[in-house]
Amino acid sequence: MKIRIHTQSSSVETFFQDNPALVAPILKTVRSTKVFASNTITIAGEYSVTTFATSRVNRVDFIDEGLPRWNQPEDILDLVELAEDEFRERSHLNDPARLERRRTPKQAGDFALVFAAVEMTGGTQIFLAAKIKVGLPAERLQRLHMLFSATALHFRMREGGTAILNLKNVVRFTLNPGPDLTPIDAWPAHHLVAGGESRRLAHTLE
């Protein structure tokens, strides 16, 4: 098993354990919602002990075939990490004319694909694709706020394994398309992207 620790300074440290007898208790005790619950994360090897301040850790990756399948909120059917190029292609950011308008009506029980760009403290960006089941209108914004008010969010990595994100260190997240309902405290303005693309995007959305 490999464990990767991503910090706010964008450093990534990798640890490994190849003894199945020692991997098993780690997999048994790790919970996605509890990884960032304590003040420190400590990893002890044969020659050293490394302790991280949890508040400075953005993300923890676990890579092992025996990882438990942690449950997502009931309306999230799948959540997977994408490379930036794939994210921009699949979300149509590279072709603004094909962008889906946020106010496109959605029926409760329908399935939808949503793309999320997440910026962490320190500037690291993470790109995700989520397959969701659309909830009742009264629940949609509430569930979104509940998701990002939690302590952690876990998702599949394309190369295998599961990553756990420290939501306390999220600076910004952008959903595309965003929810069809507008938060009552939202400022009505279009997203301006750098360069000529910004003008095309603004023109498309008007």
User: Based on the structure, what is the number of domains in the chain?
Assistant: 1
Task: Flag whether 37 is in a domain.
Answer: yes
pLDDT given at position 104: 64
Task: Flag whether 124 is in a domain.
Answer: yes
DSSP 1-52: -EEEEEETTS-EEEEE---HHHHHHHHHH--TTTTTTSSEEEEE-SS-EEEE
Task: Flag whether 127 is in a domain.
Answer: yes
pLDDT given at position 205: 45
From first to last of the 206 residues of the chain, give the pLDDT tens digit: 999 999 999 999 999 999 999 998 988 888 888 999 999 999 999 999 999 999 999 999 999 887 878 888 778 889 999 999 999 998 888 777 777 765 566 777 778 788 899 999 999 999 999 888 876 655 656 666 666 678 899 999 988 999 999 999 999 988 887 777 777 888 888 777 655 454 444 444 44
pLDDT given at position 202: 46
| Cα torsion angle, 167, 126, 57, 31, sign | positive
Task: Flag whether 206 is in a domain.
Answer: no
* Other residues' Cβ atoms within 10 Å of the Cβ of residue 90: 15
Task: Flag whether 175 is in a domain.
Answer: yes
Task: Flag whether 78 is in a domain.
Answer: yes
Task: Flag whether 121 is in a domain.
Answer: yes
Domain that holds residue 106: 2-182+189-201
